[in-house]
Amino acid sequence: MTFAPSTPGVLEAVQPIVLASGSPRRSEMLAALGLAFTVAPSPEPEPMPLPGEAAEAYALRAARAKAAAVAALHPRAVVIGSDTVVVLGSEIMGKPSGPDEAMLMLSRLVGATHRVVSGCAVHHPGGEPVAFTVSTEVTMGPQPLEVLFAYVASGEPMDKAGAYAIQGRGGFLVESIQGSYNNVVGLPLHRLVETLFAIRAVRAAGL
């Protein structure tokens, strides 16, 4: 799928851009910048966390794997890979396997503070890939069990890391955040734009 801006945006791509993710949320955020880009989800299966692996290391490894697989198919494009995880203490929470696991995740997250960590990797022609992580602290207020059951029944938690979507119905669960909101949604736009500008500057200088 290709996204083309209908009106001028804040950025203009000088090279083809490929988003190595099938996430509608990431596509919406990237499209909001006014960039033209193509969506090409990675053909590789998403890696599992290794025993004892830190959240930042895992998110970065997954993002690099996604970007590298798609960059091999699109060598003339700037390829963006991203992976976002929810971390409670040292435990990495992925997407729930079903309603029961979603309920268990949410019952542990409410009334506590967790971290949302995104790894991002950018491949570009003629240069070394650039990768980084961004972390945001998210605090959820207490919620009655019947409210959590109702939210799980809505179906929204099923394909979300940590079983909630801050930009969707699950926004009511979040009491406060410290850091990037976009990072919690799934793509740290501020850091990504900085990286794209830095890559463009290097290429313009012929370095």
pLDDT tens for residues 80-134?
999 999 999 999 998 999 999 999 999 999 999 999 999 999 999 988 999 999 9
Collapse the DSSP code of 176 into the 3-class scheme (helix H, G, I; strand E, B; otherwise coil) and give the result. Answer: strand
Note if the pTM is more than 0.95: no
Q: Note every long-range contact of 88-92, with CB atoms under 8 Å and residues 24 or more positions apart, other chains counting.
A: 88/112, 88/114, 90/54, 90/55, 92/49, 92/53, 92/55, 92/58
Mean of the per-residue pLDDT values of the chain: 90
Q: Which of 6-10, 134-138, 160-164 has the lowest mean pLDDT?
A: 6-10
CA distance to 9, 12, 73, 87, 141, per residue, from 84 (Å) = 26, 26, 23, 10, 22
- Does 100 participate in catalysis according to the annotation? no
- The enclosing H or E element of 87 equals strand 78-88
Q: What is the set of domains in the chain, with CATH numbers?
A: 2-205 (3.90.950.10)
Q: Is the pLDDT of residue 11 over 70?
A: no
Q: Are 117 and 57 in contact (CB under 8 A)?
A: no
Collapse the DSSP code of 62 into the 3-class scheme (helix H, G, I; strand E, B; otherwise coil) and give the result. Answer: helix
- Among residues 61, 64, 83, 106, which one is catalytic? 83
Q: Is the pLDDT of residue 193 over 70?
A: yes
